[in-house]
A and B are shown apart, each in its own frame.
Chain A
Amino acid sequence: MAKKDVDLNDKIKKREEKKRRRNERKSKAIDSRPFAEISSLKIIVKSRRRKRINRSRFGDIILFIILCFAGLISALPLILIVSNAFKPLDEIFLYPPNLIVRNPTLNNFRDLGVVLATSLVPFSRYFFNTVFVTILGTVGHLFVASMCAYPLAKYKLPGNKVILGTITYSLMFPAAVTAIPHFLILTWLGLINTHWSIILPVISSSLGLYLMRQSMVSVPTSLLESAKLDGASEFTIYRKIVMPLVKPASITLIILNFRSLWEAQGSVTIFSEQKKMLSYALTQIATAGPARQGTLAAVSLIMITVPIIMFIVSQSHMIDTMAHSGMK
């Protein structure tokens, strides 16, 4: 009898030990990963199971149908751009126009190629200009604005309230009247006819800063405090803790900035042909009249493709944050 009891106890103990070890292993596997890059299959499965709290299958299906319908309506312009690019000239001028192309052709792209090959400034130059401005502007804005947003969001410093108020209100000022003062300031700084005349105003835009600040507010303060106790400097906290936690917001910011810079023409502040942007060069090619309408359609498709690829890639990097999982 007694022996049996001991056996049973042993068995229970062993089983518990096994369970404990397995849990430990699991939690180690989760803990050792940086929070932003959780991609293991196990955790995805786990999160799928989690999602089912308070959800019904029927509701999901109804929602999906509504979404599809609404999506079709808002996708119309994209469909038009894509199909226009493959239309032959006579179909482009057809009235009423077809939403979907009937006789798809690649002539428009061939025409574009011919025009580009004979352009005064080599085409790659325009391309380089736009890539340079877009990357520098996007990265610069993300870095500079988020660095300023961190103290504004998490500290009560003298002057913070005034700064934040100014930034918020500046968002509401109509841009049409500031164009002339803006130009005067660029002239005064000697930035006219340089790429900085496009990059610097974008870096100083208040939209991005406000977005970063508003998302940093919800970063748990205790996390920052514990990092400070461990001897981290403010900059390290910003770079290593705050930035990974507001990744969804920074992705949004990158998308917005990338798109606006990619389409920036800079025709007001840049005069020399060598420094002009891709978007400017392409629209110039296409504005030569009705004969170039096909080329214009091809240009629209090319101009929109890069931001769209960028959009999908960065949007799919947006996953649930684990901001609070380290604090129990």
Chain B
Amino acid sequence: MENKHQQNTNAIPASSKKGKLKQKLEELSVKIDRWSRKKPFRRKMYLNRSLYLMMLPYLVLFILFTVTPVLMSFSLGFTYYNILETPKWVGWQNYLDLFLNDPIFIIAVKNTLIIALITGPIGYILSFIVAWLINELPRYLRSIITLVFYAPSIAGAAALTIWALIFSSDIYGYANAYLIDWGIITEPITWLQDADYILPIVIIVQLWMSLGVNFLAMIAGLKGINREYYEAGAVDGIRNRWQELWYITLPNMKSILLFSAVIQIAGSLNVGAVTTTLAGFPSVQYAGHTIVNHLQDYGHIRFDMGYASAIATILFLSAILLNKLIRKIIRKVGT
């Protein structure tokens, strides 16, 4: 080792700048090598330095643009901060206010939970079923069908316009027009101004939009399963599609199922745009008010960033809790 090192330095003329730099770098690496020999933990890190080097660029950016902002808003949750003045430390006051003095927050929590508990699991299963069904189609047909199902996510604002049209409160709205035609109702229903209907409509629209990132990830996951497993399964006595699904498909894409679950949790707890576009802000009797709406209310309208950050922290913690629960369920798949 030492000998080789000597040879290397001899080969480069000492006068050139580049050679000097190289020599210094090598001296440094020898030093690090010696330093790492003392402890097994350090040694493991040193031996895998190329792997750490591969992770470095992402991690630097990740810490800068994701970790730091999140940590900053964590700490803002304990302050009063109106964006213009410097934050004032208030301790747990924001959290106490949230749970004790803010009845609207409780409504928002209730609404969010209802939306999340219904749209989360159904949307998840729906994405999987559709992905699974179209998996075996020829590739061009499949990509077009995928596009069709992904359309609500790709169309953006236009997607919600359709629903505003369907549930328009006059007799021209599609829902009202058909219901009157069929003689079920005699007067138009003010769908999006009626506290009883807002939440169900939001849930329907959210379900319709549920084939998003999840769906694409699941298609990728299904494509990642090796075909030979199915042949081997058929030889080993798997007789129908359902057995194939449970014993081969699902266990082989467990990691993607986990990914989709995480995305689904985050997505269904962060419902906000749908309610404001459909039912307006604030919705009648806060019937469609979600936690994210509440957060935006304080963050972007009342400029109480401290309070908004506290809400965000609560939302974050509940997402983590749900995630832990769902991980346990997914581990049991295929056993």
Contacts and interface: CB of A to CB of B under 8 A. Distances in A.
Main secondary structure of the interface of A (DSSP, over half): helix
B3 interface: no
Interface string B59-84: 10110111111101100100000010
B30 interface: no
A29 interface: no
Given A144-B61, A147-B54, A315-B147, A157 B48 contact: yes
Interface string A124-156: 000000000000000000001101101110010
Contacts of B72: 178, 181, 184
Nearest to A250: B220
Contacts, number: 280
6 contacts: A74-B149, A77-B155, A173-B316, A181-B73, A318-B143, A320-B227
A148 B299 contact: no
Contacts of A256: 213, 216
B154 A248 contact: no
A231 interface: no
A176 B130 CA distance: 31
B62 A206 contact: yes
A284 B157 CA distance: 16
Interface string A166-199: 1111111110111011101100010000000000
B65 A312 contact: no
Contacts of B224: 215, 218, 245-246, 248-249, 321, 323
Interface string A268-307: 0000000000000000000000000000000010001001
| Number of chain A interface residues as a range | 35 or more
Contacts of A59: 241
Interface in B186-230: 208, 211, 213, 216-217, 219-221, 223-228, 230
Interface in A14-35: none
B156 A263 contact: yes
Interface of B: 41, 44-45, 48, 50-52, 54-55, 57-59, 61-62, 64-70, 72-73, 76, 83, 130, 133-134, 136, 139-140, 142-152, 154-156, 158-159, 161-162, 165, 168, 172-174, 177, 208, 211, 213, 216-217, 219-221, 223-228, 230-231, 234, 238-241, 244, 252-253, 255-256, 258-259, 262-263, 265-266, 269-270, 292, 295-296, 299-300, 305, 308-309, 311-312, 315-316, 319-320, 323
B228 A235 contact: no
B67 A176 contact: no
A213 B225 CA distance: 16
B226 A323 contact: yes
Given A157-B45, A200-B65, A214-B256, A144 B240 contact: no
B151 A148 contact: no
The 10 nearest A-B residue pairs measured at CB = A315-B143, A204-B61, A148-B58, A172-B319, A77-B155, A181-B69, A248-B220, A181-B72, A178-B69, A248-B223
Contacts of B308: 176-177
Contacts of B172: 95-96
Contacts of B161: 77, 80
B66 A148 contact: no
B52 A180 contact: no
A172 B320 contact: yes
A158 B219 contact: no
A6 interface: no
Given A81-B158, A157-B44, A210 B259 contact: yes
A96 B67 CA distance: 48
Contacts of A73: 208
Nearest to B215: A252
A206 B259 CA distance: 12
A50 B231 contact: yes
Contacts of B231: 50, 53
A69 B295 CA distance: 38
B158 A77 contact: yes
A158 B262 CA distance: 24
A252 B50 CA distance: 27
B240 A54 contact: yes
A77 B65 contact: no
Best-buried of A73, A144, A207 by chain B (most CB within 10 Å):
A144
Given A76-B151, A259-B154, 4 more contacts: A77-B159, A172-B262, A204-B66, A316-B142
